[in-house]
Structure 1
Amino acid sequence: MSYAGPDFEPPQPRRTRRGLMTVALAALVPGALLGWLVYETVGGPGDGGGTDGASARASASTAPASPTEDGKQPESSPVPTGTRTSAPAASGPLKGKVVVIDPGHNPGNFRHTGEINRQVDIGTNRKECDTTGTSTDDGYTEAKFTLDVAHRMRALLEEQGATVKLTQDADRPFGPCVDERARIGNEAKADAVVSVHADGSGAGNRGFHVILPGSVRAGAADTRAIVAPSRDLGERVAGRFVAVTGSAPADYIGDGTGLVTRKDLGGLNLSTVPKVFVECGNMRDSKDAALLTSGAWRQKAAQGISEGIVSFLRG
């Protein structure tokens, strides 16, 4: 997700020293230290399919990820969610558990700027419904990336017996808005919700981070009950993400821990179930883009996130 978007008004980015990153990571996600050390040694996985930072910049607001339904949706007529709830395996360690995957941004958002720019209540204040998301310099969109990872996660979690629901599957013209994304997880009584994103920070900034809900009590928002379980979920996801992908925590936010707490995100503020956001990498950095555009690496990302969810749900 680009930090220019409505659901992101981040603190001033800061670079941290490599030594501090390693210490903080070891404290928070000790099980993943080996993956981080491998990253340091070999410079991270490089399985092809990437883009070059010198390529012409393509805006996510003008380049759709895939064909979607056109035509504006009247604001007075709610857009149906219509996303498929999975048929889980007959048995497995997650039988009876419900997981909601929230693929950030809809591939059709760029066609509906009026609708996604309308203000919605996020508890603490009002923000735009959604954004178009970001993209790599070569035009691979965040919306396409998040759906691909979400599909891979769904398959992995279904194999474990979980019931999986997506907040959107490119099955609606735009959205859902950030408040509806939270509502979908709440109404599903999800045991865990993960919102999948990719960042749009400056070139040279690298790595992933997991965003945790801060303690908020304002208007319709009250996150106090989910802060602790969401942190547990986020730490497990971060640990497995490092171990499986070999990627490093972000070097520009989170003080090298890979964890960031936020109070300004509607998708977290309005959630009543454990929920985190995962920014899998920075699409505007050529080295991260090479990973994000690789199908093999996306499978690793999906596996790492899914293993974190499994670990959280099994306790």
Structure 2
Amino acid sequence: MSYVGPDFDPPEPRRSRRRPLTFTVAALVPTALVGWLVYTAVADTGGGPADAAPATASSASPSATHPSAAPSATASPTAHGESSKASSSPTSRAAASGPLKGKVVVIDPGHNPGNFRHPSEINRKVNIGTNSKECDTTGTATDSGYPEAEFTLALARRLRPLLQQQGITVKFTQDGDRPWGPCVTERARIGNEAHADAAISLHADGAPAGDRGFHVILPAAVHAGGADTRPIAARSRDLGERVAGNFLRVTGSAPSNYLGNGTGLVVRGDLGGLNLSTVPKVFIECGNMRDSTDASRLTSEDWQQKAARGISEGIVSFLRGK
């Protein structure tokens, strides 16, 4: 837009030149119009679609393609706009570059939104080394009905791009792309076969109301049957401490007031996903879904993004060893 002010008033045209100018302009209009029509016809045959790129969902806004309370399906949109096909194989995605290129992290979204439809499959017993337990469970839910399995998928999908930005290859144990499971034995095996540098299982607790806060579960030094966590116990503790510290710092959530004596760390030897792991692995219970204070956080997309950032920064710190 041009500026016209007191010092820039346009000059008045001379009356003697008005007629020739009008004639010249009038003569040029048909020629210009013909030229414009020819240009438009050519442009319409070649340039249009190439100049208008289709709109895509930004990977910086996972909630655009994965709203936290959206029901899961056997084929659902992923954080990168692709379509997940029903499959029993884990989802794996590698970042192109970054300071941690070559590192592998396995994310295990706890449970599965479809587990409740397959009671016979998830209730069958599997051997976890120390004893036998159910293949999987349905998980818990908030009092308003928001399932833990939906929360863990939403959180995992937010966590994935944050790790990929560092160049890390990210593998999921499931991405809403299978009707149930996998069993806890398979969840551990996926991390082992990937030779993961770190693995984390995402959960939320179902304790009584009034119990609130997060805690990170570390593997005990188990040696029984097919389970031997002794080689990974120390490294898993290092991973867990870094995840807990960064989760606390970024989310502002307090450590559990009912487990861990205020440390936010709990050691257990009864979880198949930890017992059977041969790579550094921890569980995180991000809060208590049955407590109204925690539930308000767990169902918030803004808080979920903070939780993902806190977990990612803990994992990155562990992989850097700093």
TM-score, length-normalised on structure 2? 0.74
1:164-202 Cα deviation digits (max 9, x unpaired): 000000111100000000000000000000000000000
1:189 paired to 2:195: yes
1:312 paired to 2:312: no
Within-5 A mapping of 1:1-315: 65-68=71-74, 81-90=88-97, 92-315=98-321
| Shift of residue 68, structure 1, vs aligned partner | 3.8
1:228-274 Cα deviation digits (max 9, x unpaired): 00000000000000000000000001111000000000000000000
| Shift of residue 80, structure 1, vs aligned partner | 5.2
| Shift of residue 94, structure 1, vs aligned partner | 1.3
Q: Any conservation in 1 of the 2:135–2:183 contact (CA below 8 Å)?
A: yes
| Greater percentage in helix | 2
Q: Match of 1:297, SS?
A: helix
Matched AA of 2:240: G
Runs of 4 or more consecutive aligned structure 1 residues displaced over 2 Å after TM superposition: 63-69, 79-84
Q: Any conservation in 1 of the 2:90–2:190 contact (CA below 8 Å)?
A: no
| Shift of residue 87, structure 1, vs aligned partner | 2.6
Partners of 1:276 and 1:68 lie apart in 2 by 27
Identity, in percent, stands at 73
Partners of 2:113 and 2:298 lie apart in 1 by 17
Matched AA of 1:112: H
Change over 3 Å in CA distance of 1:64–1:180 after alignment to 2: farther
Q: Match of 1:115, SS?
A: helix
Q: Match of 1:161, SS?
A: coil
Q: Any conservation in 2 of the 1:282–1:289 contact (CA below 8 Å)?
A: yes
Runs of at least 5 residues in structure 2 that lack an aligned partner in the other structure:
1-68, 76-85
Matched AA of 2:314: G
Partners of 1:98 and 1:87 lie apart in 2 by 9
1:270-290 Cα deviation digits (max 9, x unpaired): 000000000000000000000
Partners of 1:263 and 1:80 lie apart in 2 by 31
| Shift of residue 65, structure 1, vs aligned partner | 4.0
Q: Any conservation in 2 of the 1:217–1:223 contact (CA below 8 Å)?
A: yes
Q: Any conservation in 2 of the 1:64–1:108 contact (CA below 8 Å)?
A: no
1:93-152 Cα deviation digits (max 9, x unpaired): 211000000000011101001100000010001000000000000011100000011011
Matched AA of 1:311: S
Q: Any conservation in 1 of the 2:200–2:281 contact (CA below 8 Å)?
A: yes
Higher-Rg member (1/2) = 2
Partners of 1:299 and 1:64 lie apart in 2 by 16
Query: For residue 21 of structure 2, what is the aligned residue in structure 1?
Result: none
Q: Match of 2:154, SS?
A: helix
Change over 3 Å in CA distance of 1:64–1:129 after alignment to 2: farther
Q: Which has the higher contact order (CA 8 A, sep 6+)?
A: 1
Q: Any conservation in 2 of the 1:64–1:107 contact (CA below 8 Å)?
A: no
| Shift of residue 226, structure 1, vs aligned partner | 0.3
Matched AA of 1:103: P
Matched AA of 2:190: I
Partners of 1:203 and 1:228 lie apart in 2 by 33
Partners of 1:193 and 1:67 lie apart in 2 by 25
| Shift of residue 155, structure 1, vs aligned partner | 0.7
Q: Any conservation in 2 of the 1:112–1:174 contact (CA below 8 Å)?
A: yes
